[in-house]
Structure 1
């Protein structure tokens, strides 16, 4: 009977782990109103790039301008009162020294002067606060980024005490990718050597939804301080450059991390392994093209291959039986099959 036969190969195999992950902007900032009023204009195109300091919204500012004018008037009045109190103090002080006026008169003049000075400081503070609030009627972009959909339109009323978000801006020149690892995976990483951990930290790939591999490598920045007791997982975050803006917040991806390299791994196709309960076997082809059943110990699966820990060596010929009706010690006609495919 004709049977396909492959040779066991040996090479160093990188061992990766894939984790479901989600993309976040380098900064994702909710834009909220810091004053109350009616939105008078929306000054950006939704989904576009905006620059730091660019005007996004204007809010009706008549009330805040009136408050500013009122505070400016109060500063003027307080300053005038300070000048009067200072003049009175200047008059009373020498007269007190000549005993023409009592010390009580001097104390009163000093108190009035200090009160007037404090009143000027308070009114100036209120004036500065009014200026700040007037500035808040113009909502500006806090940094360069990608602006989202506006949640308000011209004529809507906004409030500083509300929880509504006007819009969200994300900085996507670089992105953050968050994923979770299990307690078992965490312990495996924690017990690795410093060199292996550093290699894993700096070798993070992204698999996109279409199965393609993102062209930039990432680096793990941090792990959360605790294991989430409700899920038994540890949240980790990696950063990736995003020069072309391909990655956007909310995108689901897979984070692929190189945990270690299996040195000198012997591998055969998974389809060549026969599993019976907890026992793994292969059909070895000897020099006389007869089959011999051999028990093996399997390791991790890599693509369509299986790493063999023991029971095989590089160069051994293994039959791929499939549904062929052959048994141990059967004589076969060998059909050499190249494997893996890229070696054809």
Structure 2
């Protein structure tokens, strides 16, 4: 045994333990070191990309309207009395001149008889006054009677003649009132629900309700309101020739969202703006040959309100709005994104008209909720427009 080894064995046990630890550390430090692997780069995100298109874009507006009969005539009583019958089926067609109601006529017949009696008395008085005048006139000419007697006879004859005319007028009026106890249809059309029944008392006062309403529905009127600013805009475009006479054509969208096959035509605008609502009433007429539509129906009126020839259009969900600023992500040749500020026009269907900032055919990214920034590289996923948009 060597002397050095001997001395090592003679070292105290604590010191021996420390030396062994240092030797172990030196051994592990002598081992070749292992480098940590570098993380792999993430692939660029996939983003839907679509090309901006150029096309003629008509802009249509929809307004809520209400239908009315071509004529909606309220049937009212022109005399007072008890209803003795009504002679129609509610909700059915009636013809002009058809008897609708009868009102108790006893008092009106009695009045006719009274007026006939007054007319008879007036005729008798007229004959007496005429005979008296014929008697006095020659005697006055012979100076057998004074001029005063002739004047009196002439005045009595004139009064009797006027009395007869008054009695004739009163008789005619009483006959007219008697005729009003028979209520006839003023127009042909569909009659609604009767508001009175046999035994009800009706009056001719201004506040009295209607007996029924008759509507002509072979054609209907549709009324809707435009704001004053929209009305002025449309009128100016029509005056400049930017909108054709086709603007008068309207589509009627029914409550079930179906489009009525008959097109309507705008007839007129009201003479004034409603000062309370700031709107103007527009009326259109529409043929109703199958009588599907009825008065009082709420519909939507759709018509051409603007026209953009050769407009650049991109999807609405490709536009990012930050307060009053509109931005899009344009895709460059190297598939990097570039933020562009654009100017927008009106929306058309799923698209948005871009008036400045984008050229036709330029690729636009639809980023959705992805957190992408300027110069971000993407993997474009080409998306096509729906055929209905490109037509």
Q: TM-score, normalised by structure 2?
A: 0.81
Match in the other structure for 1:188: 233
Please say if residues 140 and 150 of structure 2, whose CA atoms lie closer than 8 Å, have aligned partners that are also in contact. yes
Cα separation, 1, equivalents of 2:87 and 2:242: 51
Closer, same or farther: CA 198–83 of 1 in aligned 2, 3 Å? farther
Match in the other structure for 1:82: 126
Closer, same or farther: CA 225–188 of 1 in aligned 2, 3 Å? same
Higher strand proportion (structure 1 or 2)? 1
Match in the other structure for 2:312: 266
Closer, same or farther: CA 197–312 of 1 in aligned 2, 3 Å? closer
The list of structure 1 runs, each at least 4 consecutive aligned residues, that deviate by more than 6 angstroms after superposition, is none
Match in the other structure for 2:90: 46
Deviation of the 1:102 alpha carbon: 2.4
Please say if residues 199 and 258 of structure 1, whose CA atoms lie closer than 8 Å, have aligned partners that are also in contact. no
Q: Does 1:277 align with 2:328?
A: no
Deviation of the 1:137 alpha carbon: 0.4
- Please state whether the residue corresponding to 1:134 is helix, strand or coil: helix
Of the three residues 45, 52, 55, the one matched with 1:11 is 55
* Alignment coverage as a number of residue pairs: 344
1:217-232 matched pairs, under 5 angstroms? 217-232=263-278
Cα separation, 2, equivalents of 1:94 and 1:341: 107
Please say if residues 243 and 307 of structure 2, whose CA atoms lie closer than 8 Å, have aligned partners that are also in contact. no
Cα separation, 1, equivalents of 2:99 and 2:274: 41
Deviation of the 1:61 alpha carbon: 0.8
Match in the other structure for 1:61: 105
Q: CA RMSD in A?
A: 2.3
Q: Does 1:310 align with 2:356?
A: yes
Cα separation, 2, equivalents of 1:127 and 1:39: 24
Closer, same or farther: CA 49–198 of 1 in aligned 2, 3 Å? farther
Structure 1, gaps ≥5 residues long: none
Deviates further, 25-34 or 209-218: 209-218
Closer, same or farther: CA 69–201 of 1 in aligned 2, 3 Å? farther
Match in the other structure for 1:174: 219
Which one scores higher on RCO, CA 8 angstroms, separation ≥ 6?
Answer: 1
Structure showing greater radius of gyration is 2
- Please state whether the residue corresponding to 1:109 is helix, strand or coil: helix
Deviates further, 231-240 or 127-136: 231-240
Cα separation, 1, equivalents of 2:365 and 2:387: 17
- Please state whether the residue corresponding to 1:4 is helix, strand or coil: strand
Structure 2, gaps ≥5 residues long: 1-44
Match in the other structure for 2:287: 241
Q: TM-score, normalised by structure 1?
A: 0.91
Match in the other structure for 1:144: 188
Deviation of the 1:157 alpha carbon: 0.5
Deviation of the 1:201 alpha carbon: 5.2
Cα separation, 2, equivalents of 1:8 and 1:201: 28
Please say if residues 199 and 259 of structure 1, whose CA atoms lie closer than 8 Å, have aligned partners that are also in contact. no
Cα separation, 2, equivalents of 1:189 and 1:220: 13
Please say if residues 148 and 167 of structure 1, whose CA atoms lie closer than 8 Å, have aligned partners that are also in contact. yes
